[in-house]
Amino acid sequence: MKNYNTPDLEVFPQYHDEVVQKNLDACSSAVSQLIAVGTHLLRWELEDEPKSEDERGVVGVFFKRILDLLDSTALLLKVGSIDPCINQLRALLEITLAFEYLLQADTQKRCLCYLLTDLDKDLAFYESLVGDDFGKNIPDLDERIKHFKEVIDNSIFDPIRSEYILKAFKPDGTRKKVDLKWYNLFTRMNSLKYLADFLKKDKYYKIVYSYASNVTHGTGLTGRNLSMEDGQISLEQLRNPHDAEEIAKIIIDLGKQAYKAIIKRRSTEQWQEYVWAMQLYKKQNKKYAMPYLYISPSSRI
């Protein structure tokens, strides 16, 4: 009888050969070293006393999310699980674009927009459960709705309240059927594509986001997972290390763009420390240090 506590090694090989694993280790290490630099940038942000609490909090959670995504890709790269990296790559591009826009100008107001729309999504969710069978299982549903309304009514949101009401509600006070984006309150940008165009990152959207979205939504799986040989279709193994280096380079490129956005908020002394740290990083990771957005014709991404 088969031992079902161990995988079929043809489908799910537990180890890569030495050359492949050495390359995977190098990819993972390059991302991990970049994260190490980023942790110090986050510490500086959290210790920045002159910034308001709401601004420091929003910038902090954005940047922490970027580090979380970088960290998860480093772990996936190390074991050769490259396809799931593409899902993380998509999420990383989304939040990096949003982060760049957040810090580009009017950061205080944009942080308020983010907080308000975030609260509004929670409020809209609980309001949608009123009269619903699932909502009947939440005994404090009315209290939750009241809580979010009270927080949204806080005077800190007064500078952006009129735009919020205009974009989220009809004249009679009922909700519009819109997916309210925080970067849409004072602009006409209602999707990530418009945000990418505005930031002049349309190539990233076209090449990375569009492709990665197909993989994420299960509509672009065959190119990376099926191959034909001698008239026979074969399925790629789990933890297929193909394209690890290309994926790692794009991930590192996006991480460095986020770093460039946040370092502009720092003191001259901190800026100099950052420059020194990145020079050392480039010296230790020459293969991954240059800006990267080239998809090889032979690559499946």
* pLDDT digits 0-9 by tens, 51-72: 788 899 999 999 999 999 999 9
pLDDT tens-place string over residues 204-213: 888 888 878 8
Q: How confident is the model at residue 271 (pLDDT cuts 50, 70, 90)?
A: very high
pLDDT(216) > 90? no
State pTM to two decimals: 0.90
Cα-based distances in Å from 160 to 103, 217, 260, 277: 17, 34, 28, 39
Whether the predicted pLDDT of 50 surpasses 70: no
Q: Give the separation between CA 158 and CA 94, rounded to whole angstroms.
A: 28
d(CA 138, CA 237): 44
Residue 300 pLDDT greater than 70, yes or no = no
**Which percentage of the chain shows pLDDT scores above 70?**
95
The pLDDT tens digits for 155-179 are 999 999 999 999 999 999 999 988 8
